[in-house]
Structure 1
Amino acid sequence: MALPLLLVPSDPLAPRVPDPHFAREADAARQAGMDVAVVDHDAIIAGDIRAAVRRVPTSNVGRTAWYRGWMIHTPTYALLATGLQTRGARLLTDPTMYQAAHELPGWYDAFADLTPTSIWSPWEANRTPKHADVAAWACKLGGGPALVKDYVKSRKHEWHEACFIPDLADAPAATRVIATMIKLQDADLNGGIVVRRFEPFLPDDAGRTREARAWWVEGSLALITPHPDAPAGTTVNVPAAILDAVRSGVHALGSPFVTTDLAQRSDGVWRVIEVGDGQVSDLPATQDPAPLTQALSAGPPTTRHESRS
């Protein structure tokens, strides 16, 4: 049985080879025995899926595939999956699974006991919220500090302007923060608005939340890395009991390739602060990609052994 195909974005300046950001993973995949093909990310975003997949060999009839590339919206991922089928390749993460792991409403229930309390509402890009909208969310979540994001991403680098809400019960102030987030996201708003209860987390030396990223392939732990934004040399150590609890959430979610970002709250309790589809989650620049590509190249789930490391 052929190993899965690895699909990575092409280099915009040399479209027959992988984008430099994913070149190390492509090399590691080949060393693990996988074939690698490139897709055109710009064409994917433009909706020209035929052009996007034109360099995927048609000899892959019936072949399964993983995508490792830049983040794309769920509807676009569905188009990519359909386009790859015309080349004979089938993504192991189907569009429904992708959406479940990529967007908070899809993964929240599986991790509800491990993650900050959240509410959400579908929302159109560039639609400005009213005080009544925010008051309704405050009624559901209660007052106090909160964070706002879309279904996938926050504006954490504009913390006070477009992310952190000091008191959700202060509807005018909360509305300003939420409206700014929506404005900055513009057409890139993913799905809708998420409001999460704020929980303080232990910081690193630079004052940022110290995060670990756990990578799960077919329900097994493949790798733990620092968050890609962490300073070089950062080390992480997540207790086995926490990983067991997160593993249960991963199994409940059911998506085959998932990342979970973990951090310690100021009281020492470990929390899941984000879940993502592993295909569009970034590796730290200094991380050896071999453990991940080896996991992606492994056989079907029935032949795998659960990692307890």
Structure 2
Amino acid sequence: MLLVPGDPLEPGRVDARFVAEADAARALGVPVALVDCTAHEHPEDMVAGVPAGDDAVYRGWPMTVGEYTAFAKVLDARRVTLRTSPDDYRLAQDPARWPAALRAVVQESAPGPTVRTWWIGGRCLQLPAGLDLVEIEPVITDLALPFVSADLVRRTDGSCRIAALTDGQVSEWPPSQDPADLMAGLF
């Protein structure tokens, strides 16, 4: 199941930012449920429209680790299991918890253009043309996170470095790319 934010001004509708992803999921036969992202202080209200008993991927607005943990807990009470656990979300969002091997390929200041890559189960969803991921792939794979995005930058010596890494559930999918590609990779 795909969980997406509802429109705060039009209850029952998908937030405009996530309509294309919800449509792409439905086209694959994936159920879509709305989450009330305005109800962070009342997690039970956030998930009132989520049917019970399914594996789920959230695609929506960022949450703090505490908010995400509460969100996962109320979903768990409905027998809905987020593919990204609260511990995995915390790891993806907190560079201080990253292993030394990942920190070694993170470029502290990222001069030049970055390229966003999407990693599902440790594999790059779409290999960017002209980028060599030989140093990056094993490090992201070793994180064992279900879904992350990594913004990459090419150094002057030609090697790639990570400019940013975050949980894929809350990373913006580029409007220039087909959301069906993301949904096919996730489901």
Normalising TM by the smaller chain, what interval? over 0.9
Structure 1: unaligned runs, 5 residues or longer: 117-195, 203-209, 225-235, 298-309
What SS does the corresponding residue of 1:223 show, helix, strand or coil?
coil
Q: 2:106 aligns to what?
A: 115
Contact 1:110 1:252 in 2 (8 A): no
Cα distance in structure 1, aligned partners of 2:63 and 2:182: 21
Residue 21 (str. 1) matches residue 17 (str. 2): yes
Name 1:92's counterpart in structure 2.
83
TM-score by length of 1: 0.57
Gaps of 5+ in 2: none
Q: Does 1:69 align with 2:60?
A: yes
2:111 aligned with 1:211: no
Structure 1 vs Structure 2: percent identity of aligned residues? 36
Q: Contact between 1:110 and 1:250, CA under 8 Å: does it hold in 2?
A: no
Deviation (angstroms), 1:51: 0.7
Q: Look up the match of 2:50.
A: 56
Q: CA deviation at 1:108?
A: 5.0
Separation in structure 2 between the aligned mates of residue 110 and residue 6 of structure 1, nearest angstrom: 32
Equivalent in the alignment of 1:184? none
Contact 2:5–2:60 at 8 Å: present in 1 too? Answer: yes
The answer as to 2:180 corresponding to 1:290 is yes
- Counterpart residue type for residue 275 of structure 1: L
Letter in 1 for 2:123: S
Counterpart amino acid of residue 184 in structure 2: Q
Query: For residues 56-100 of structure 1, what are the alpha-carbon distances to aligned partners after superposition, in whole Å with 9 as ceiling and x for unaligned?
Result: 013xx2x11100001111111000000111222010110000111
Q: Secondary structure at the match of 1:26?
A: helix
1:119-170 Cα distance to aligned partner (Å, 9 max, x none): xxxxxxxxxxxxxxxxxxxxxxxxxxxxxxxxxxxxxxxxxxxxxxxxxxxx
In structure 2, distance between residues paired with 1:263 and 1:103: 20
C-alpha separation in 2, matches of 1:287 and 1:29: 15
Structure 2 match to 1:268: 158
SS of the residue 1:82 aligns to: helix
The SS at the match of 1:18 is: coil
CA positional deviation for 1:277: 0.4
The secondary structure found in structure 2 opposite 1:112 is helix
Assess if the C-alpha contact under 8 Å between 2:4 and 2:18 holds in 1. yes
The residue number in structure 1 matching 2:3 is: 7
- Alignment: residue pair count: 187
The change in CA–CA distance for 1:109 and 1:238 in structure 2 (over 3 A counts) is: farther
Of 73, 95, 106, 2:97 maps to 106
SS in 2 for 1:97: helix
Partners of 2:123 and 2:141 within 8 A in 1: no
RMSD of the alignment, in Å? 1.6
Instruction: Note if 1:257 corresponds to 2:160.
Output: no
Summarize deviations over 1:206-240 as a string: whole Å, max 9, x none: xxxx111110111122135xxxxxxxxxxx6342x
Residue 283 of structure 1: how far off its partner (Å): 1.0
2:165 alignment partner AA: V
Name the structure 2 match of 1:35: 31
Report the structure number with the largest CA radius of gyration.
Answer: 1
Residue of 241, 245, 248 corresponding to 2:138:
248
8 Å contact kept, 1:68–1:279? yes
- How far off its partner does 1:110 sit? 3.9
Q: Distance in 2 between matches of 1:265 and 1:18?
A: 40
